[in-house]
Amino acid sequence: MGRESGWANVPAGKRASTYARPEYRAAASAFADVTHRSIAVTKPRDPGVQPRPAAGIQFVGVPEFTDLGTRVSQEISAAIAGRQSVRAALRASQKMAEWVGEEYQD
């Protein structure tokens, strides 16, 4: 990927070996160290300051995650377009997130 598309275009955080390549480190010097350090210290089973119903950092391993993201985006888009208030969009989004979260409660 690096040779064909440029080393700075290699997706960050995908492979540990990427950070060992001098070509990548040179091309991505503005962000490689902080990205690699952030990944190294992150705790996938405890990624935040509040309890979570499923393990994960950026990707949430529940089937409804992608659909929820799409639905929340639609609510926010409707607010930006003036079809509803921001408060209504956030309320609807929170309700959908809680519904999905309830499926994973102990």
Residue by residue, DSSP assigns the chain as -HHHH-GGGSPTTS-GGGGG-HHHHHHTTTTHHHHHHHHHH--TTS-SSS--SS--SSS--STHHHHHHHHHHHHHHHHHTTSS-HHHHHHHHHHHHHHHHHTT--
Is it the case that residue 56 has pLDDT exceeding 80?
no
Distance CA 13, CA 19 (A): 9
Confidence band, pLDDT 50/70/90 cuts, at residue 45: confident
Q: What confidence score (pLDDT) does residue 60 get?
A: 63
Instruction: Locate the domains of the chain by residue range.
Output: 2-41, 64-102
Is it the case that residue 76 has pLDDT exceeding 70?
yes
Share of the chain above pLDDT 90, in %: 33
Q: What confidence score (pLDDT) does residue 50 get?
A: 76
Kindly report the pTM of this predicted structure.
0.47
Q: What confidence score (pLDDT) does residue 58 get?
A: 62
Is it the case that residue 4 has pLDDT exceeding 90?
no
Please report, as a single letter, which amino acid is at residue 55. Answer: A
Q: What confidence score (pLDDT) does residue 35 get?
A: 87
Average pLDDT, the chain: 85
